[in-house]
Amino acid sequence: MTDPLPQGSTIGILGGGQLGRMLSVAASRLGYRCHIFEPGAAPAGDVAHSVTTAPYEDAAALRAFAATVDVITYEFENVPTSALDLLESLKPIRPNRRALAISQDRIPEKTFLNDLGLATAPWRAVNSEADLQAATEALGLPAILKTTRLGYDGKGQVKLATTADISSAWAAMDGAPSVLEGFIAFDREVSVIAARGLDGSVAAYDPGENVHRDGILRTTTVPARLSPGQGSDAVLLAARILNALDYVGVMGVELFVTPEGLLVNEIAPRVHNSGHWTQAGCAVDQFEQHIRAVAGLPLGDGGRYADVVMENLIGDDVARVPDLLKARDAQLHLYGKGAPRPGRKMGHVNHVRRP
């Protein structure tokens, strides 16, 4: 085991978007500094001790970054392997590489989950139009074809309604390794934001109920409409994943609630958009919980003391900011990103329901 990171230590964060931004703020509350590594624009830099702007291929910049930090974490799972190999030789990376490797590719992810005894949507690997043809026969239609890597916010996904869609769907993948997922008639989508400390302890926030539109999360509502049994199933299932990976940090586990039980949709080895509500309803939010874990501190009390609806502000939704500033019980979080673009997450609002 490792001692807790002393106050005044520096945490390196790979990625400088809104998640890095909110992680840096949480780290400051615990007396830590953050150093952001980000190839592009870094809104996290506005609230970080230092920022390195360099590509992940710049070994000298990665070495200089590692020299200034005590531990490294990340705000997104698609950091190139070469950068991780170099960084891992210099400083601890938390969550660990296995969690990253699994979540970077849908096929190892689903294999890992199924091997753990957890249900997912039925799936088949697809590397050719012939594979896709065979997969549609095995799983039936409708179904969803997804690239195995780099998909997020609905990108790299095509729905197949009938066999007439097979050719165009495969063409849309542009030759990328893909996976076909069978259709799931789910009642609702929920997610569990769970954390595991360096000491192996596990904590989870109350599950949130998610609504997606065009593949992008729109709202998360707590409490989720789950029976007590479903709620504890969801949390136990998340704990099983974290323990199996010897995980350290916060993970987002997306689940489908079906009449037959809970299916795992996907896992994200990081703080998660569906956990933003914790900023308004808990003494310790998901960002602080993640920092506590990677710093080797005890996990905090994530008990909930308010009902919350978290609403993402996407693209032109920022035009609503003047109204939201006046709204009752609305906690606004803007990301400092400049001009809105369609599909771009510009901020979020936590609508607090006083008990």
Question: Interface with a copy of itself by CB under 8 A: which residues?
Answer: 4, 7-8, 21, 24-25, 28-34, 45-49, 280, 283-284, 292, 297-298, 300-301, 303, 305-306, 321-322, 325-336, 338, 347, 350, 352, 354-355
Task: Identify which of residues 26 and 144 has a Cβ nearer to a copy of itself in the complex.
Answer: 26
What is the nearest approach in angstroms of a copy of itself to the Cβ of residue 43?
8
Residue 337 CB, shortest distance to a copy of itself, in Å, is 8
Q: How far is the CB of 70 from a copy of itself (least distance, A)?
A: 14
Q: Give the Cα separation of 19 and 274 in Å (integer).
A: 12
* Distance in angstroms (rounded) separating the CA atoms of residues 130 and 228: 44
Q: Are 16 and 42 in contact (CB under 8 A)?
A: yes
Closest among 71, 95, 152 to 290, alpha carbons compared:
95
Let me know if 115 is exposed, middle or buried by CB neighbors in 10 A (0-12, 13-18, 19+): exposed
Looking at the Cβ atoms of 103 and 279, the one nearer to a copy of itself is 279
The rounded distance, in Å, linking the Cα atoms of 219 and 257 is 17
CB of 207 to a copy of itself, least distance (A): 19
Q: Which is nearer to a copy of itself, 146 or 292 (CB)?
A: 292
Tell me whether residue 31 or residue 175 sits nearer to a copy of itself (CB atom).
31
Name the minimum Å distance from CB 18 to a copy of itself. 10
Smallest distance from the beta carbon of 273 to a copy of itself, in angstroms? 16
> CA-to-CA distance for 285 and 191, rounded, in angstroms?
15
Q: Name the residue nearer to a copy of itself (CB basis): 4 or 122.
A: 4
Q: Provide the token pair at 262.
A: 């809970």
Q: Which residue has the tokens 């542009």?
A: 174
Nearest CB to a copy of itself, comparing residues 197 and 207: 197
CB-wise, 197 or 269, nearer to a copy of itself? 197
Give the rounded distance of the alpha carbon of 328 from its chain centre. Answer: 29
- Please name every residue paired with 11 in a beta bridge, in sequence order, or none if there are none: 34, 71
State the minimum distance, in angstroms, from the CB of residue 345 to a copy of itself.
13
Q: How far is the CB of 1 from a copy of itself (least distance, A)?
A: 15
Number of Cα atoms under 13 Å in the Cβ half of residue 301? 4
Q: Toward a copy of itself, which CB reaches closer, 269 or 347?
A: 347
259 upstream amide cis, omega within 30 of 0: no
Neighbours of 354 (CB within 10 A): 7
> CA of 152: how far to CAs of 8, 106, 149, 346, in Å?
34, 11, 9, 16
Output the DSSP codes for 89-153. Answer: TTS-BSS-HHHHHHHHBHHHHHHHHHHTT--B--EEEESSHHHHHHHHHHH-SSEEEEESBS--T
In the complex, the smallest distance separating the C-beta of residue 282 from a copy of itself, rounded to whole angstroms, is 9
CA 185 to chain centre: 23
- Please say which residue, 160 or 193, places its beta carbon nearer to a copy of itself: 193
